Amino acid sequence: MSQRGGGVGVIGAGVVGLSAALRILQEHDGTQVTIYANRFSPHTTGDGAAGFWEPYAVGDTPVGDIVRWGQETFEWIERLAQSEEAKESGTFYVSSCHIYHEHVEDPIWKDTVHGFRRMTGNELLHYPGHTCGFAYTTVMSEGCRYVKWLTKRCKTLGAIFIQKEISDLAEVSSHDIVVNCSGLGARELVGDASVFPIKGQIITTKAPWIKHCLNFDDEGVYMLVGSQNVYIGGSSEKGNEDPTPDPDQSKRIWNDITRLVPSLCGAERVGEWGGLRPGRPQVRLEAEEVSLTNGEILKVIHNYGHGGAGLTLHWGCAEQCRRLIDQFYEQ
């Protein structure tokens, strides 16, 4: 890959931005990567997420893209989960079930996870009123550890971190290429009015006897097993701009999950968290030559709008960013 002197600028230090930066650093030794953000780990949305691998809240993103990006991400997390980096990166396998009142079709990701199967009638007897379910093994990239690990890996490979809110792409025009992973910030940065917040909320508990994830999609609640804690969620409030945990939502979540899973009644509640997912009608991942306010033309790769699937699609999207960067440099 030929390159000029400005290197690559990445806007955003969440899981999407960090993974894009890391993939560039891995593939192209000697390329200077500079990461700009107004906040870094542990203060990003990804830091608070449970990190359960499953495509969620990605709007009308083409199925082919979701499957490809998701598969590449699953394989990446799986490799980490089997490596000496597993503990520090917060990556591991979990068993899980989705449980429904009535029949649902197989999900588009069934061939990515391991051991996907329909639950038996005897298994569903434990969940009165639910007649359909499927079980499988997936992976976790636990946000509280994984985002820190990505940050550390980027620093080790020479990335420069600059704490600054970029309000105009002209501010980063010294770079050969800019990767825009600004999430909700894309509304202002590139004038994308289709971006909107989707508020999510979880309760963190200590429940060491819980070893299995459960997702009750009809009720909108779930129980996800982390390395130290069990995460109880959730909520999906489109347009809510306030990440502060809502006591009414917490009450609803807790009442619903303990009704469905009575063994959780003895769990110790140790914290609550709220975050704003960057929603969009479709994930935006494309290259563009942007005319700047200062009259220059900047090569930009947009990579944002991942909804609730940032930790599910991030590495596949980073791979596509890397390919697009190669094409830009080859021009």
What string of DSSP letters covers 49-93?
S--B----S-TT--HHHHHHHHHHHHHHHHHHHTSTTHHHHTEEE
Over residues 149-164, the mean pLDDT reads: 98
Query: pLDDT by residue (tens digit) across 199-238?
Result: 999 999 999 999 999 999 999 999 999 999 999 998 999 9
- Quick check: 2 pLDDT over 70? no
- Burial profile 75-97: b = 16 or more Cβ within 10 angstroms, e = fewer: ebbbebbeeeebeebbbbbbebb
- CA 10/CA 40 separation, integer angstroms: 13
CA pair distance 71, 140, nearest whole angstrom: 14
pTM for this entry: 0.95
pLDDT one-digit tens code per residue, 85-137: 999 999 999 999 999 999 999 999 999 999 999 999 999 999 999 999 999 99
Tell me: is residue 115 an annotated ligand-binding position. no
Pairing verdict, β 213-216 and 221-225? antiparallel
- In contact, 198 and 29? CB cutoff 8 Å: no
How many other C-beta atoms are found inside a 10 Å radius of the C-beta of residue 110? 12
The fold of 8-330 is: Rossmann fold (3.40.50)
Q: Residue 184 and residue 169: Cα distance in Å, rounded?
A: 15
Average the pLDDT over 58-66 and give the result: 96
Q: Return the amino acid letter for 19.
A: S
Q: Are 289 and 299 in contact (CB under 8 A)?
A: yes
The encoded tokens of residue 133 equal 């379910």
Q: State how far the Cα of 18 lies from the Cα of 3, in Å rounded to an integer.
A: 21
307 marked as binding residue? yes
- The answer to whether the CB of 46 falls within 8 A of the CB of 310 is yes
Average the pLDDT over 236-263 and give the result. 97
Quick one: average pLDDT of 43-47? 95
Confidence band for 295, pLDDT divided at 50, 70 and 90: confident
- Cis peptide, bond prior to residue 234, ω within 30 of zero: yes
129 contacts: CB under 8 Å, gap ≥ 6: 101
Distance CA 90, CA 33 (A): 25
Domain definitions of the chain by residue range: 8-330
Q: How confident is the model at residue 4 (pLDDT cuts 50, 70, 90)?
A: very low
> Rounded mean pLDDT of 278-305?
95
- Which two three-digit tokens encode residue 62? 């083409």
What band does 329 get if pLDDT is binned at 50, 70 and 90?
confident
Euclidean distance between CA atoms 143 and 291, whole angstroms: 36
β partners of residue 268: 206
H/E run at residue 115: strand 114-118
* 231 labelled binding-site residue: no
| Distance from C-alpha of 253 to C-alpha of 247, rounded to nearest angstrom | 10
- Amino acid at residue number 81: A
**pLDDT, average across residues 63-87:** 98
Residue with tokens 């909700």: 184
Closest Cα to residue 94, out of 135, 141, 54, 139?
139
Whether the pLDDT of residue 316 is over 50: the answer is yes
266 is in an annotated binding site: no
User: Does residue 21 have a known ligand-binding role?
Assistant: no
Query: Of 252, 273, 230, which Cα lies nearest the Cα of 96?
Result: 230
Which among 249, 197, 262 has a CA at the least distance from the CA of 223?
A: 262
Which residues have C-beta within 8 Å of that of residue 238, sequence separation ≥ 6?
196, 197, 198, 279
Minimal CA–CA distance to 14: which of 115, 135, 139, 146?
146
Q: Is 310 annotated as a binding residue?
A: yes
**In whole numbers, what is the pLDDT of the chain averaged over residues?**
95
Q: Which of 70, 60, 68 is nearest to 283 (CA)?
A: 60
pLDDT digits (tens, 9 = 90+) for 171-202: 999 999 999 999 999 999 999 999 999 999 99
Q: What percent of the chain has pLDDT over 70?
A: 98
- Residue 29 banded pLDDT, cuts 50, 70, 90: confident
The pLDDT of residue 5 is 60
| pLDDT classification of 1: cutoffs 50, 70, 90 | very low
Banded pLDDT at 30 (limits 50, 70, 90): confident
Q: Regarding predicted confidence, which is higher, 141 or 3? A: 141
